[in-house]
Amino acid sequence: MRRTAFHEDHEAFRATIRAFIEAEVVPVYDEWYAAGIVPRDFYYKLGELGVFGIEVPEEYGGAGQESFKYQAIVTEECARAGVSFGGSSVHVALCLPYLKAYATDEQKKRWLPGVASGETMLAIAMTEPGTGSDLAGMRTTARRSEDGSHYVLNGAKTFITGGVHADRVIVCARTAPPREDDRRFGISLFVVDTRSEGYAVGRKLDKLGLRTSDTAELSFTDVKVPAADLLGEEHQGFSYLGQNLPRERLGIAVSGYAQAKAAVRFAQQYVTERTVFGRPVASFQNTKFELAACKAEVDAAEAVVDRALDAYDRGELTAAEAASAKLFCTEVAHRVVDRCLQLHGGYGYMIEYPIARLYADNRVNRIYGGTSEVMKMIIAKDMGL
């Protein structure tokens, strides 16, 4: 069936991204994978291409688009080629909406031009050692100075995607103790300059998958953060985080769908070329049935993703609907990628094959952005259960 979620401008952008990946990423991706990080200079290329500026308002050097579909296309094309743009995935998809929604005009003038060009790479620091998904339990603090000119930041964060290359990090910290009736009160957001004294990047974490994504530990020791770098209102950070969750979960749903579709593509190509017992693997009935079943699941996931993308662009995607899309698409990807790896036989376990990397990359989709179990709780609550 023809997809109707994308129009001519989207498809022209897709062609540009596909050509860029083939020319600039595929030839060097093995080097990036071995190094476990994308070169910082690559982000300037993405800025020049306009990838980072699509949703940045025109007055700050961007294209002024409001559609999330352009980011979805980047995700789909990276999965198709079996590559990644590294930690930059959070730069626009997760961080930019906070600046657009809560930054003052003065802050936007300072930050958004660099966001669009790739000169100011963003990351967001929420998770802390020992707290996991319990954001209300965070211990990082930001104490306001007596003269009100700055805050003093102390604490630590972990699992921070883009944390190595980031120039500014949106740090969640407590500016007041939680209330007895509201543990979420007292959290504020700060756009912290990573060059600040006392700011330190710890280990670049060694992950099962997403190897080119620079995921790091961060620590803050008496970091002075200017009051002018407070994002939004003091103590309201938790509500800001919640408002961006549907977009984050939609992005993960798109990633799951794209990975499942790529897995079928890789498997179909492999079984057509691979010969066993004197016959192409594709000629066996089991192979045909497995790929057909996978294709049907991918088609269903595509329909869910496209409907969710349309709803998001209309401003109608609810938290429960985003949770449903994430749950369905990531569970589909889990099944499809596993079955497609099986069709590769022993070679599917070799990391040089895209399916093996895809298998490792895919696993986290059912964990971050809220686990599958959390998604079920959100959906059930929306059902009145």
Residues annotated as part of the active site: 248
Residue with tokens 């003269």: 147
- Reduced to 3 DSSP states, what percent helix, strand and coil does the chain have, rounded to the nearest 5? 55, 15, 30
- Report the candidate in 2, 6, 1 with the shortest Cα–Cα distance to residue 313: 6
Q: Is 128 helix (H, G, I), strand (E, B) or coil?
A: coil
Burial state string for 45-67 with b = 16 or more CB within 10 A and e = fewer than 16: ebbeebbbbbbbbeebbbeebeb
Residue type, 159: F
Cβ atoms of 358 and 262 closer than 8 Å: yes
**295/180 Cα distance (integer angstroms):** 51
DSSP 198: T
As a whole number of angstroms, the distance between CA 89 and CA 306 comes to: 20
Cα separation, 193 vs 260, in Å, equals 38
In this structure, are residues 253 and 326 in contact, taking their beta carbons and an 8 Å threshold? Answer: yes
The full length of the chain comes to 385
Residue 105, both tokens:
């005009």
